[in-house]
């Protein structure tokens, strides 16, 4: 199926889920996809709990980029949000991915008032330290988490970070649907996905 789409002009493929790292023989599948004529970019969206075991094999199979969901860097809060005490596994997976040479590694953080909105600065510093791209996402009123979480207007946070870091317009591979800014020296990039405060941007 991917080969058919590649012949029709599709160049970028993302493996997502569910959780794709739970699929048996995922590196082999990734290798078959990346070897198809016309496929130039293969990425994976993951919660990274199994990433430490598979990072090197996936990179060798041709996966270039990762999107990883991390809504908190505090272990108890991570457990409360996800229902699993797996933050140490996620952090180990991110380090393994960095060592394996994935570029870029994007950290997706859904910002929720009263849940994790006070961690934005910590997440910024974490991503700067480790060379990750940060994407801040406004919560959507969908599913139990979205319906129960309070909305945070990311425009306010964006303007504060622009002032703090002198952010300018930037671009990151596989950019959509985020709008990206970067530090003037290009060492850190941050994207904003704002379906409520600024739809379409």
pLDDT tens-digit map of 64-118: 999 999 999 999 999 999 999 999 999 999 999 999 999 999 999 999 999 999 9
pTM for the full predicted model: 0.89
In this structure, what token pair is assigned to residue 109?
């953080």
Which residue range is the domain that position 35 belongs to? 1-103
Determine the Cα–Cα distance for residues 62 and 133; give it in Å rounded to an integer: 20
User: Total domain count for the chain?
Assistant: 2
Residues 50/22, Cβ–Cβ less than 8 Å: yes
Looking at the structure, do residues 81 and 125 belong to the same domain, yes or no?
Answer: no
Looking at the structure, do residues 97 and 117 belong to the same domain, yes or no?
Answer: no
pLDDT at 146: 45
| Domain final position from 103, 125, 144 | 103
Residue 201 lies in a domain: no
For 177, the 3-state DSSP assignment is coil
Determine the Cα–Cα distance for residues 61 and 39; give it in Å rounded to an integer: 13
Strand 12-15 vs strand 105-111: parallel, antiparallel, or unpaired? unpaired
Residue ranges for the chain with pLDDT beneath 70: 141-149, 174-176, 196-201
């Amino acid at each position: 199926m991917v080969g058919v789409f590649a012949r029709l002009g599709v160049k970028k493929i993302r493996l997502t889920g569910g959780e794709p790292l739970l699929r048996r023989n995922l590196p082999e599948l990734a290798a078959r996809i990346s070897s198809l004529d016309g496929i130039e970019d293969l990425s994976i969206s993951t919660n990274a709990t199994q990433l430490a075991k598979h990072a090197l094999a996936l990179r060798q199979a041709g996966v270039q980029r990762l999107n990883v969901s991390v809504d908190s860097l505090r272990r108890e809060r991570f457990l409360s949000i996800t229902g699993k005490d797996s933050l140490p596994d996620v952090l180990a997976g991110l380090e393994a991915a960095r060592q394996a040479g994935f570029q870029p590694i994007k950290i997706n953080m859904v910002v929720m008032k009263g849940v994790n909105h006070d961690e934005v600065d910590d997440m910024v510093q974490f991503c700067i330290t480790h060379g990750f791209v940060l994407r801040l996402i406004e919560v959507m009123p969908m599913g139990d988490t979205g319906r129960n979480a309070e909305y945070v207007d990311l425009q306010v946070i964006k303007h504060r970070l622009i002032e703090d870091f002198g952010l300018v317009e930037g671009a990151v591979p596989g950019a959509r649907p985020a709008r990206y800014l970067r530090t003037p020296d290009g060492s850190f990039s941050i994207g904003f996905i704002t379906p409520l405060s600024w739809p379409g941007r």
